Structure 1
């Protein structure tokens, strides 16, 4: 029976590592976006708790076909049948849990005849390569041990498939190690590790309640998981009847949201909005702007109604760098370095109009004393959606290239946009607009070249302008694909946010596993 084993030494106390792994959201944070997606995560890891997953084919082939399917679902006018999805259902069950010592899960159903994954935890010793950073405190060692058996039909090709699976395990567990280190570092910086909370007395005053709209979206899913890992109580706002205490029902189009449902909420994170991707028809544009304006207006009004009850609340309201316009050089006074900052005025075009209206709807909350912060999100890098997902099918096939040439693209990794939003939640002094972009933007040509280097694929063939225009229309192509925006990340760093991925290459290698 094939076995994979990985030893990870961590500059964190065993208590903090194991407690984080038991918190809500850990599975979502550790599951690589190139490997699949979490459909349902249990609240804890007690024996018998189950998780439902969808797993993708391994390697570059899996990356290509799954991104192509995601692109088709996003842009085609008709629904894509679910049975065409290149993914396999996986039901996993926690089979062992000894706090601070062992946790294990086994496959109930899925692509393997047998699967058992166990983690063992010890205090790392000096001769075992213990703490890499003595200033960080005690170190721990985590040993992952995977035993699996291929389906009977696949066993004739077992030697070749075992090699494929080993390479995939290296990708996936490498991602998990980086993600675990990144999340624990984030939580330590914000005083959210279990040992820190215990030392400061813990208690309800240290456990914020955060309500999130758009919680099932690409960004919202990661924000909820990261906040859950920080020990926050996360409540999802849903546009259907609530199914328990972890949900609040609302209808922004009908103006329906019970103000009392928000009374015990400390922070509202508003990420709801109709997807931008699609042809910029009158109907599409109306859906884009109304979904953002109506939802923000309702939330800001309800929070204003609660003001004065002695509870200091906050609204973290989404926005985008589209605020500055697609061609800001022609619309803004030139700064000394030519970069766009939060103090710059809005630009021209539909997306600038959307962002300005979106942000202005927060005024009832801010005027009532609610802390309001507005992350202006750049081009999010993730194979789960957005611009990167749209590029991957051609890139993996070796026939991709740049979407444009010298236009500046202000990007941000999915982990950093989730991290910055969580930082705005936890930092009581953060308010106003904050550019959610990485410190080092790239040109369109540099983006394509870097992606090609990561995937070991050529990037000599530029994407014809007719391609994006066919999918988005002339206006959509001009405002999204051809946008030229050199946006500064200075304010995010001044607020104390420490970017995980400052360069595009490190972001792509992490998110794609190469």
Structure 2
């Protein structure tokens, strides 16, 4: 059984083939709804091996061979027991389309039903096209290869971001809590970082921090705060004190800065701080990066909205419920949700590295926030499921407590990306429906 699918991308063939050769390509092309994680990437398309981890401890070992740069490479399944059950040969062809375009052709010879493969290939082609377009915009905006030190690189956002950066030609050095493994990992002591930790680094991206989700007990509050304020301040000081070190310091932040409920007020970066625990936490978190700014670094605080990906966060929890027809709005559904697709989020982080116009707080949200009932209706429609249920506020209160419910589950924040909009930033998905259809592989005809 065979399946062939192709797309034309706006980039020369040599550039497209080089993109596939760089670390992170397989991460960028793996659909987020698939139950798979990348355990190892192939380092050579002519004779390398990638390992993908599936449920039940099964590993899919893809052996690359037969590369003819920049025209073709092949991967074949080479792992027991899967190869006893599954036939798989995937040929990647690249054809020149004058003047400077490339036809990317995927030819799969397999006994896997074609219906299971079509959405995967469609996602890969959309993602490749969008990543190459974002790369072209970055080059036009002054991007050059950088060495970027990153904390939190193994989280949901960090994994996607590290892959985007490396496929764009940057070197990513992962700052890890344990012993560093290889030249691109360094051990990071959060309380007392080594003086040479950031030596040879052009920019720092600081993502690490304990999950905010949970009941706001004193212990949980301490964990949230201690994992953010002190480490951010120590890292910012080190960045400022490193001779010939980083010139840019980009730190995660959150729209919790604006407080849990501002009504229908449209919130831009210049809007006043709100009230509540998270508003205070986020303000202190951003203040902790001040040593880097005082040292002359350009500091960017990425105030992130509700990140959309079935690989993590809110959508990961809601996806199976809505897919089963059991989803619905929370409470009265009137609360505003400022959301962003994960690929748009990592684009913003990337732009923060090279665009001198980005500094201070940046709202990393899509241009069109929605109310919770609209979010729920859109997700149900994308999944072709009814929306029959409404989740009473009592449900999250049992899990998160009164304060956690107010600050998280029922938070209403009509946040807009005013700074990015003023700079003419291009969003891959400015509307929720297109973002969810891409992320969930539901791009076929939808009901009216």
Q: TM-score, normalised by structure 1?
A: 0.82
Per the TM alignment, residue 375 of structure 1 is displaced from its structure 2 partner at its CA by 0.6
Matched, 1:315 2:249: yes
**Cα pair distance change 1:108/1:471, threshold 3 Å:** farther
Q: String of CA shifts for 1:446-490, please: whole Å, max 9, x gaps.
A: 000000000001112111222222222221111111011000112
Matched, 1:269 2:231: no
Inter-partner Cα distance in structure 2 for 1:211 and 1:223: 12
The partner residue of 1:107 within 77, 82, 94 is: 77
Written as runs of structure 1 = structure 2, the 5 A alignment for 1:260-339 is 260-306=196-242, 309-310=243-244, 313-329=247-263, 338-339=265-266
Inter-partner Cα distance in structure 2 for 1:281 and 1:347: 21
Q: String of CA shifts for 1:171-204, please: whole Å, max 9, x gaps.
A: 11111111001100011111189xx99xxxxxxx
Inter-partner Cα distance in structure 1 for 2:314 and 2:89: 36
Matched, 1:5 2:4: yes
Written as runs of structure 1 = structure 2, the 5 A alignment for 1:232-247 is 232-247=170-185
The partner residue of 2:284 within 357, 360, 364 is: 357
User: Which residue of structure 2 lines up, in the alignment, with residue 159 of structure 1?
Assistant: none
Q: What is the aligned residue count?
A: 438
User: Would the aligned equivalents of 1:27 and 1:41 in 2 still touch at CA under 8 Å?
Assistant: no
Inter-partner Cα distance in structure 1 for 2:366 and 2:307: 10
User: Which residue of structure 2 lines up, in the alignment, with residue 119 of structure 1?
Assistant: 92
User: Which residue of structure 2 lines up, in the alignment, with residue 153 of structure 1?
Assistant: none
User: Which residue of structure 2 lines up, in the alignment, with residue 218 of structure 1?
Assistant: 156
Backbone CA RMSD of aligned residues: 1.9
3-state SS in 1 of match to 2:200: coil
The partner residue of 1:370 within 297, 305, 323 is: 297
Q: String of CA shifts for 1:365-400, please: whole Å, max 9, x gaps.
A: 101101100110000011011111111221111121
Per the TM alignment, residue 312 of structure 1 is displaced from its structure 2 partner at its CA by 5.8
* Structure number having the greater helix percentage: 1
User: Would the aligned equivalents of 1:36 and 1:53 in 2 still touch at CA under 8 Å?
Assistant: no
Inter-partner Cα distance in structure 2 for 1:371 and 1:285: 30
User: Which residue of structure 2 lines up, in the alignment, with residue 478 of structure 1?
Assistant: 406
Matched, 1:177 2:125: yes
Inter-partner Cα distance in structure 2 for 1:43 and 1:266: 27
Q: String of CA shifts for 1:117-167, please: whole Å, max 9, x gaps.
A: 111111126xxxxxxxxxxx61111110111236xxxxxxxxxxx3xxx22
For structure 2, the residue ranges without an aligned partner over 5 or more in a row are 443-448
User: Would the aligned equivalents of 1:120 and 1:143 in 2 still touch at CA under 8 Å?
Assistant: yes
Inter-partner Cα distance in structure 2 for 1:250 and 1:495: 35
For structure 1, the residue ranges without an aligned partner over 5 or more in a row are 56-84, 126-136, 151-161, 198-205, 330-336
3-state SS in 1 of match to 2:4: strand
User: Would the aligned equivalents of 1:242 and 1:249 in 2 still touch at CA under 8 Å?
Assistant: yes
The partner residue of 1:413 within 341, 352, 355 is: 341
User: Would the aligned equivalents of 2:240 and 2:246 in 1 still touch at CA under 8 Å?
Assistant: no
Inter-partner Cα distance in structure 1 for 2:377 and 2:37: 31
User: Which residue of structure 2 lines up, in the alignment, with residue 70 of structure 1?
Assistant: none
Inter-partner Cα distance in structure 1 for 2:415 and 2:355: 22
Inter-partner Cα distance in structure 2 for 1:454 and 1:181: 22
The partner residue of 1:401 within 300, 325, 328 is: 328
The partner residue of 1:145 within 107, 124, 127 is: 107
Inter-partner Cα distance in structure 2 for 1:228 and 1:411: 25
3-state SS in 2 of match to 1:94: strand
**Cα pair distance change 1:299/1:443, threshold 3 Å:** same
User: Would the aligned equivalents of 1:214 and 1:273 in 2 still touch at CA under 8 Å?
Assistant: yes
Inter-partner Cα distance in structure 2 for 1:495 and 1:375: 16
Per the TM alignment, residue 352 of structure 1 is displaced from its structure 2 partner at its CA by 1.0
3-state SS in 2 of match to 1:178: helix
User: Which residue of structure 2 lines up, in the alignment, with residue 130 of structure 1?
Assistant: none
Inter-partner Cα distance in structure 2 for 1:91 and 1:303: 40
3-state SS in 2 of match to 1:265: coil
Inter-partner Cα distance in structure 2 for 1:452 and 1:88: 32
User: Would the aligned equivalents of 1:45 and 1:97 in 2 still touch at CA under 8 Å?
Assistant: no
